Copies of this chain bind each other. A is one copy, B any other.
Amino acid sequence: MDLSVNIGNLRLKNPVMTASGTFGYGEEYLDFLDVSQLGGMVVKAVTSSNRDGNPYPRMAETPSGMLNSVGLQNKGVHHFVQEIYPRIKDLNTAIVVNVSGSTLEEYVEVAEKINELNNIPAIELNISCPNVKHGGMAFGTNPRIAAEVTASVRKVFRKTLIVKLSPNVTSITEIAKAVEGAGADALSLINTLLGMAIDAESQKPVLSTVTGGLSGPAIKPIALRMVWQTSQCVHVPVIGMGGIMNTTDAIEFLLAGASAVEVGTANFINPAVTTQIIKGIESYMQRHKVNTVKELTGALKIK
């Protein structure tokens, strides 16, 4: 059985990756699973310099989901290159760095530095974070700007360039086509949906930032729809995510048109879920007599 998939020039041993911001730098999961079994691992967002993120509270539980407003807390790309990269570079899975920023220049600067790291075969350009005041999602909701930042990063980054799309848009396909045209090797979607939670008793917002990003099973129907729409209108591979909790969910994304999937929030509830999904995909393939996982991509039967 062949579980491998290609994302641009990047070959993954299987289609199951972890989503940025939900898997730390992988190290935190070493007690729970063998990271080398993963198709890939997208590490926490990296920005040009240190960010403290937003004030506590940064989290609200919602029906079948959660809101977060972490806000890209990280110690900056220099720290990543110096301290974290050496520790994780030999984890033996495709390590993808989630590149974030507030300005076009910041994206370019981070991408340039990551380009130098031998064991980082790809970046995921995060133009869809709803939790930063400037930049983030703003880049991902306007096709022209999305294309501009993609093109600029493309110039300096020579390995696989994945661009992560925001679902907070009228037309995901318009953005997708713009980003593809600007040189993206692959698209990943969806980032979180902008939401809000209120404590009716205290009459206050739950999050310090009032709004935050919604993730988890609640958003799966929207994510599936966007992956389906997008994969039909671009030629580059699509990486699907949004509410994947188990094998069935992952298969649904593949059928809808995804070449690989990322698992996010589910890792918090079941830290070993990704390796369970890999095994689950294998037995699904056996049951359905599918030899290569690539056959599942876009195999949805629409009469």
Residue numbers in B under 8 Å from A203 (CB-CB): 255, 299-301
Instruction: Determine if A64 is an interface residue (Cβ-Cβ < 8 Å).
Output: yes
Residue numbers in B under 8 Å from A241 (CB-CB): none
The B-contacting residues of A in range 221-252, CB under 8 angstroms, are: 221-222, 224-225, 228, 243, 248, 251-252
Chain B residue at smallest Cβ distance from A227: B196
Question: Which of B65, B202, B252 makes the CB contact (< 8 A) with A198?
Answer: B252
Instruction: Determine if A161 is an interface residue (Cβ-Cβ < 8 Å).
Output: no
Q: Are A198 and B300 in contact (CB under 8 A)?
A: yes
- Interface size grouping (class) on chain A: 35 or more
User: Chain copies in the assembly?
Assistant: 2
The proximity string for A residues 187-208 relative to B, scoring 1 for CB distances below 8 Å and 0 otherwise, is 0000001111110101111000
Residue numbers in B under 8 Å from A197 (CB-CB): 221, 224
The B-contacting residues of A in range 248-296, CB under 8 angstroms, are: 248, 251-252, 255-256, 284
Q: Are B200 and A255 in contact (CB under 8 A)?
A: yes
Residue numbers in B under 8 Å from A218 (CB-CB): 63-65, 217-219, 221
Q: Are A195 and B221 in contact (CB under 8 A)?
A: yes
Q: Are A300 and B205 in contact (CB under 8 A)?
A: yes
Most buried by B among A67, A217, A222, A302: A222
Instruction: Determine if A210 is an interface residue (Cβ-Cβ < 8 Å).
Output: yes
Instruction: Determine if A82 is an interface residue (Cβ-Cβ < 8 Å).
Output: no
- The interface of chain A, by Cβ under 8 A from chain B, is 60, 62-65, 67, 141, 168-170, 193-198, 200, 202-205, 210-211, 214, 216-222, 224-225, 228, 243, 248, 251-252, 255-256, 284, 299-302
